Amino acid sequence: MTIEDIQTLVAADAIHWTDHVAKRLIKRRISPDEVLETLCNGRIIEDYPSDYPFPSCLVVGCTIHDRILHVVCSIVNDSYLSIITAYQPDPDKWDETFTKRRIV
């Protein structure tokens, strides 16, 4: 899975929003457009090849309003992108670039 693969699926509007992410976006006051902006200009910072039922990854990116977000997503059967969750990273848990976890 590459960021280019993710961006191709976003551009094709081949996206599935899980129930989990729908609830989280409302709770965290993140709009679907912000998630898509993050995916369109972001980069993969962690891979989760063992995730079930499909491998996933963590993308960091910035919205047009300079809001840094993390998005976990998965490509399903090379046909669509499943958005699993999204959140604003906690600066206490991530370095200043929000790309590396702090060692606690």
What is the domain-level CATH number for residue 74? Answer: 3.30.2310
User: If DSSP states are collapsed to H, E and C, what string results for 68-100?
Assistant: EEEEEEEEECCCEEEEEEEECCCCCCECCCCCC
pLDDT of residue 18: 87
Structural domain contains residue 104: no
Confidence of residue 103 (pLDDT cuts 50, 70, 90): confident
Report how far residue 42's alpha carbon sits from residue 99's, in angstroms, rounded to the nearest whole number. 11
**Domains: count for the chain:** 1
Evaluate whether 73 touches 8 at the Cβ level (below 8 Å).
Answer: no
- Considering only CA atoms, which of 41, 38, 72, 34 is closest in space to residue 55? 72
Give 31-52 pLDDT, tens digit per residue.
Answer: 999 999 999 999 999 999 999 8
Q: Supply the range of the domain harboring residue 26.
A: 3-87
How many Cβ atoms from other residues are within 10 Å of residue 25's Cβ? 19
